[in-house]
Amino acid sequence: MSPRAFLVRGLLAGLLAGVATFLVAYAVGEPQVGAAIALEEAGADGHSHSHATEGAEGEEEAAEVSRTNQSTWGLLTGTLAVGVALGGIVGLVAAATLGRLGRLTPGQSTALVTLIGFVAVALVPFLKYPATPPAVGSGDTIGVRTAVYFAFQALSVVAAVVVTYAAVRLRGRFGTYLSVVGAIAAYLAVMVVAGELFTTVNEVGDFPADTLWFFRRASLITLATMWGVLGVALTGLVIRLYAAERAVAERKALAASL
């Protein structure tokens, strides 16, 4: 059960997660992106009708990648890259925490690591700073918006690591149930307070609420697909690895006893 074995399986699981995420994003997310872009272009045409021909020619010359390629090969490349990178990281974290999360088996430990990762890295930051379509947000504030998002995400990850470590340390004194419930409560308390203290980003303006909702719902489904497939695939691969390692160890023990 070496870190390399976890890394290889994490990369493979990430590759599978990237393919699944592409299929879901293309089917669920791309229609919402297209709708948002159409609204943005309609608004731009309304504000610069007199320069429509010139602007269209300029956009055509400046466009290096067509919308079709962005929504297919570009999207596939992005999901595969993110999936493989994320899978490698989760695999290494699962290897590092092996045997340090109580009496969990390697498969159970890997599943828990993935679940905590999804909550801390993806879900909770999304609840505070949900994804926004291309037509929403000012270009002047993109730096600030990016900074506060990653700061909130970093806080979420640190809080998750600390409360998980505390739960493991306190398990012997208070038992598994109270330790886990206490850790969850502490994490929620920290993130709720942080959510109130961190700045609010509200640049939606008069963007249609239904289009915004469908876009954000599709974004969350895509995130859940990435982490869900990654967790299931990696856990399954680790379970098979553990079974194979145990079988080898048992054969060696039997041979030594003869």
Taking only the tens place, the pLDDT of each residue in 51-98 is 444 444 444 444 466 666 666 777 889 999 999 999 999 999 999 998
Q: What is the pLDDT of residues 145-191, one digit of tens each?
A: 889 999 999 999 999 999 999 999 898 888 889 999 999 999 999 99
Q: What is the per-residue pLDDT for 191?
A: 96
Average pLDDT of the residues in 33-58: 56
- Decide: residue 47, CB within 10 A, 0-12 exposed, 13-18 middle, 19+ buried: exposed
Which pLDDT band, with edges at 50, 70 and 90, does 41 fall under? low
Average pLDDT of the residues in 185-198: 95
Average pLDDT of the residues in 38-61: 51
Q: What is the per-residue pLDDT for 139?
A: 66
Interatomic CA distance for residues 171 and 177, integer angstroms? 8
Long-range contacts of 156-160 (CB under 8 A, 24+ apart): 156/120, 156/121, 156/124, 156/125, 156/191, 156/194, 157/120, 157/121, 159/120, 159/186, 159/187, 159/190, 159/191, 160/116, 160/119, 160/120, 160/187
Average pLDDT of the residues in 90-119: 92
Which pLDDT band, with edges at 50, 70 and 90, does 212 fall under? confident
Q: What is the per-residue pLDDT for 135?
A: 66
Q: What is the pTM of this model?
A: 0.82
